[in-house]
Amino acid sequence: MSIDIPTDTLRELVRHPDDFQREVILAMYEANEITSGKACEILGLDVQAWDMLRRARRLRGAYGVEDLESDVRTLKELGRL
């Protein structure tokens, strides 16, 4: 997988490493390299915050059985199931 990042954008992301990490994770999710559950875990987001971010960015990563199972586990941990 490769990601093309304009030089000016890269300079700005290096100044803000948390933003850089978020952008890499989002790109990996969109490329189906990681699941929704893994993205939540890495970014430290709950399912609701992840869903808001995903919708705001109009991301369309694959949502498969692993994602569903991960989301169910997360919801159980949060006491919502």
List strand residue ranges (DSSP E) for the chain, in order: none
CA 15 – CA 45 distance, rounded (Å):
22
Helices 65-77, 36-43: axis angle to 10 degrees equals 40
pLDDT band at 12; cut points 50, 70, 90: confident
**Res 56: pLDDT:** 92
74: how many CB neighbours lie within 10 A of its CB? Answer: 20
Mean pLDDT of the chain: 83
**Res 1: pLDDT:** 61
Share of the chain above pLDDT 90, in %: 12
Question: Is pLDDT above 70 for 62?
Answer: no
What is this structure's pTM? 0.59
The CA-atom distances, in angstroms, between 52 and each of 6, 48, 81 are 26, 6, 20
User: pLDDT tens, 16-37?
Assistant: 777 888 888 998 898 888 888 8
And the tokens for 12?
A: 């700005």
Angle at 4 between CA 17 and CA 35, to 5 degrees: 65
